[in-house]
Amino acid sequence: MSDFLDKIGLSVFKTQEQGLDLLEKLIATARPTAVFGQPVTGGDYTVTFSGSKSSQTNSYATYNPSLTANLQFSVNQPLIKNRGMYINKLPVMVAQSSYRQSEYNLQDRVLTLVQTAESAYWNVISARENVRVSEKARETAASFLKYMQDQLDLGALSPLDIFSPKSRLANAELALAQTKFSLMQAEDALRKQIAADLDPEIRKLPVVLTEAVDLGPSDALTVDREAAVQKAQANAPSLKAAGQSLDIDDLNIQSAKNGLLPNLMFNAGYTTNGRGGIYYPSSGLLSGGVATVVPGGITDALSQMFGFGYPTYQAGLTLTLPIRSRTASATMANALVAKKQDSLTLRTQQQSVRLNVLNAVTALEGAKEQLKLAKIQLDFANENLKAELKKYELGTGIQQYVIQAQTDYANAELAVVTQQISVRRNLLNLLTQTGELLDQRGIVVTTK
């Protein structure tokens, strides 16, 4: 025991300077450099001071009143269970991983909100184009009805033939009314997205859309499918959040393993005592002499305590074996099952992200091709309209064919705009699936 006490620096102190250095030595003992050749942390140390004063009526008491002072240093160091800085930092590491996971979930939520807002924007543009085409269709139907009415007034047309153009005009007016109400709904949804729906004065302001529909040559939108999938797997916030779940599971498994280990605890302590008060020697009373009272007080007790002349040493090892610890075994089993579930969830999400990106790329390529065909159709409709107008001017054509050519041209224009908006929406969906939308829009999500 003396060798052990000398090793940790607990020898009998004769000077106050040596005693004052004891605390630093014990603190160093609480975190020794190595046990069995490995770094050791996780220990704790305590310093306790106590004092008391007691008075009694016993005439044979040596000290009355009696003053005591005690200063105790203790060290506890786990050697197996809860041993090491890594194990003791597990709760902090789990909290950090959970914090990062919440950041990724926030990014995913913001990504969805931005996509919803931009979709509402393009819904308004699409609704406005539908209104424009419906107005042209109504004008065309009204012109055709006037032409047929003139034919009826000249007697060149049967009265039964006037009902068809009237029905056509009524259907055109119905379609125009429906598209106008759809436009109002789309604008209200957009006002909600930009928070312009709460103030009555702001709600009355017209919605002015400035983003161009045409993205230019569609050849510039060529997307590499595999490269897009790799971007999604690297940037998608949902995959990052799922990856953080696996990190948390690994940390929980390490904590569960620690709970299965036996608990071997090293503890050591050092106590210094001091006593003071009015001293009544008992030897003088027993011999029949006169007792000499020695005055004293708290300073005597503190002087003896800090003189470290009456120390008490203590050291020991405590071993606790977790024999058939069902709680620790269940915790380990739950941690392993949770990691397996999260691993399967991550794999499923990776497959879903890959499929969604491939579908988005395919949809974008399809929209680009349909836009090319719609532009070709618009060119043919324009040439047909010019031809019908020329024939009508030369007297070889009739107004009915001109009106039908105008309707076809308006529908071709709507098809082009619809496909342009489709390209925009599919590009928006692709940026959302790859996780690049926030960077493309200059949006930075921070929780600080």
Q: Tell me, what CATH number does 409's domain have?
A: 1.20.1600.10
Which domain does 221 fall in, by range?
92-248+333-440
**Shared domain check, 67 and 177:** no
Q: Encode 406-425 in three state secondary structure.
A: HHHHHHHHHHHHHHHHHHHH
Terminal alpha carbon distance of the chain:
55
Q: Is residue 187 part of a domain?
A: yes
**124 sits in which H/E element:** helix 90-153
Q: Are residues 43 and 163 in the same domain?
A: no
User: Is residue 298 domain-resident?
Assistant: yes
- Quick one: pLDDT at residue 41? 67
What is the tally of structural domains in the chain? 2
Residue 348 and residue 240 share a domain: yes
Same domain, 171 and 129: yes
Is there a single domain that holds both residue 215 and residue 346?
yes
User: How far is the C-alpha of 44 from the C-alpha of 74, rounded, in Å?
Assistant: 8
Indicate if the pLDDT at residue 108 is higher than 50: yes
Instruction: Please check whether residues 140 and 222 belong to one and the same domain.
Output: yes
Contact 443, 118 (CB under 8 A): no
Contacts of residue 8, defined as CB under 8 A and 6 or more positions apart, other chains included, come to 25, 29, 268, 315
pLDDT digits (tens, 9 = 90+) for 28-47: 443 333 333 344 467 888 99
184: left (phi over 0), alpha (psi -120 to 50) or beta: alpha
Copy the structure tokens of residue 408: 């076809």
The alpha-helical segments, DSSP class H, found in 270-321 are 282-286, 298-307
- Please give the Cα distance from 36 to 120 (Å, whole number): 66
Nearest to 123 by CA among 211, 53, 55: 211
Task: Specify the DSSP class assigned to residue 218.
Answer: G
Q: What is the pLDDT of residue 364?
A: 93
pLDDT at 212 over 80: no
- Note whether 152 and 225 are same-domain residues: yes
Specify the higher pLDDT residue, 37 or 72. 72
Question: Is 0.85 surpassed by the pTM of this model?
Answer: no
Query: Residues 141, 241: one domain?
Result: yes
Average pLDDT over residues 188-194: 89
Whether residues 19 and 121 share a domain: the answer is no
Say what the pLDDT of residue 12 is.
37
Q: Does any domain span residue 50?
A: yes
Is 322 domain-assigned? no
Which of 406 and 125 is assigned the larger pLDDT? 125
The residue among 285, 313, 341 that closes a domain is 313
How sure is the predictor about 355, in pLDDT bands with cuts at 50, 70 and 90?
A: very high
pLDDT class of 351 with cuts at 50, 70, 90: very high
